[in-house]
Amino acid sequence: MNANVSRRTFFGMAAAATAAAAVPILTESQLAYAQHRRIARDLPPGAVRIDANENPLGPCSGACAVMSSLLPEGGRYDDQLTQKLVDTFSAMEGFKPDYVLVYAGSSEPLHYSVLAFTSKERSLVVADPSYEAPIYAAKFSGANIVKVPLAKDYSHDVRAMIAADPNGGVYYICNPNNPTGTITSRADVEYGLANKPKGSILLVDEAYIHFSDATASLDLVKADKDLIVLRTFSKIYGMAGLRCGFAIGRPDLLAKIQAYGMNFMPILAVAAATSSLQVPELVPERRKINTDIRNDTFAWLTANNYKFIPSQTNCFMVDTGRPGKEVIAAMAQRNVYIGRVWPVWPTYVRITVGTRSEMEKFQTAWKEVMSTPASAHSEPRRDPSLAGLGSRDLPPQMRRELLS
């Protein structure tokens, strides 16, 4: 249980959440698997894994040291460590601690926010292409899903999103966007807040914000606006497997999402997160590493006449000029696992920025694949058992949908 929620509050909320649906929590790893059909543990040795927007640097050295020293304490429910994380982040950002909830990754509060604020009557409005997890959550609340194309500059077309459904419950703004790595302006976020229907929220997902120049929306939370901001330690902090993230919002909004599920936080994850926040040079250093490798990759793509969308994060979209799924399969044959295709742009594939040596291997494989006639490739083979979405398996219907 989060340290900042009392037992009494929790039981009160649980009783109130009589209609709470059990929803499977989707992450990048399941979405990546659905595309190339191979789970991480089955990949051949030396595989280049640039398919799930992970950070190859992993947790920083301070976080690793803290986790090692804490291992012998693993038998204890030490919820002070979670409270310390909340206090550290709140003090850094100038929040009262009750504006911050800690979860095992931001996927959980993302799904719960969609469940809490959408319904059969109130839709989910998303950009297209954007991160798909909210869409899967909305299937559980029964909400209508309204997809609005990205604007010409690949920002969210917030005006069109608000106009698309005057009865939206959640307007999801992924800033910067996954998969394009592009930014939505502060003015557009403010427009959304000023013009959205009453009772709805903006769900502003800042998973990739540290890589970019995007303006954070945390001050809008401080101003008590109707938004929930999501943050994660999975990206720049390199802790995807450790699992830690935040929902940040007005306490009355957070109370609504808490009703959908809570659990005691793993002590290693929260201690590593706190330690990462306490290294001021960590974000700028890692941001520079990512930017340099990404820009060198862009220079190579440009020099070789490959069309891509300039991104500010650790992923970007490249146009293959042929069915993207075929390129994914052909790259996998060369032991390079790239990210997925979004149905709205079937010729584009998403590439995660890996290490310098991984991006060199990517370039070699890419050139080979792209210089082979499109007709020589075939789509990836289906896994007839539909098994293997990791140890946390999904309900059969969702598996079928993901793998279709």
Task: Name the residues that contact ligand PLP, by CB under 6 A.
Answer: 27-28, 53, 105-107, 110, 131, 174, 178, 205, 207, 232, 234, 240, 245
Please state the closest distance from residue 14 (CB atom) to ligand PLP, in A: 23
Q: Compare residues 189 and 370 and give the one whose CB is closer to ligand PLP.
A: 189
Please state the closest distance from residue 15 (CB atom) to ligand PLP, in A: 28
Q: Compare residues 271 and 330 and give the one whose CB is closer to ligand PLP.
A: 271
Strand order in the sheet with 227-232: 100-103, 245-249, 227-232, 201-205, 168-174, 123-128, 145-149
Please state the closest distance from residue 107 (CB atom) to ligand PLP, in A: 3
CA distances to 38, 363, 392 from 101, rounded to whole Å, are 34, 41, 23
Q: Compare residues 205 and 326 and give the one whose CB is closer to ligand PLP.
A: 205
Q: Compare residues 59 and 377 and give the one whose CB is closer to ligand PLP.
A: 59
Please state the closest distance from residue 108 (CB atom) to ligand PLP, in A: 7
Q: Of 118, 226, 235, 104, which Cα lies nearest the Cα of 176? A: 235
**Residue closest to ligand PLP, measured at CB:** 105
Q: Compare residues 232 and 320 and give the one whose CB is closer to ligand PLP.
A: 232
Instruction: Show Cβ contacts of residue 241 under 8 Å, excluding neighbours closer than 6 positions.
Output: none
Please state the closest distance from residue 104 (CB atom) to ligand PLP, in A: 8
**CA separation for the pair 11, 149 (Å, rounded):** 41
Location of structure tokens 């080979």: 368
Please state the closest distance from residue 181 (CB atom) to ligand PLP, in A: 11
Please state the closest distance from residue 393 (CB atom) to ligand PLP, in A: 17
Residue 273 burial (CB < 10 Å; 0-12/13-18/19+)?
buried
Buried b (16+ CB within 10 A) or exposed e, 243-269: bbbbbbbbeebbbbbbbbbbeebbbbb
**CA separation for the pair 104, 27 (Å, rounded):** 12
Q: Compare residues 11 and 264 and give the one whose CB is closer to ligand PLP.
A: 264
Q: How many CA atoms lie within 13 A of 391 on its CB side?
A: 1
Q: Compare residues 99 and 208 and give the one whose CB is closer to ligand PLP.
A: 208
Q: Compare residues 59 and 245 and give the one whose CB is closer to ligand PLP.
A: 245
DSSP 162-199: HHH-TTEEEEEEESSPTTT-----HHHHHHHHHHSPTT
Please state the closest distance from residue 61 (CB atom) to ligand PLP, in A: 21
Q: Compare residues 192 and 339 and give the one whose CB is closer to ligand PLP.
A: 339
Please state the closest distance from residue 321 (CB atom) to ligand PLP, in A: 26
Nearest 10 degrees: Cα torsion 198, 201, 202, 208: 170
**CA separation for the pair 345, 308 (Å, rounded):** 12
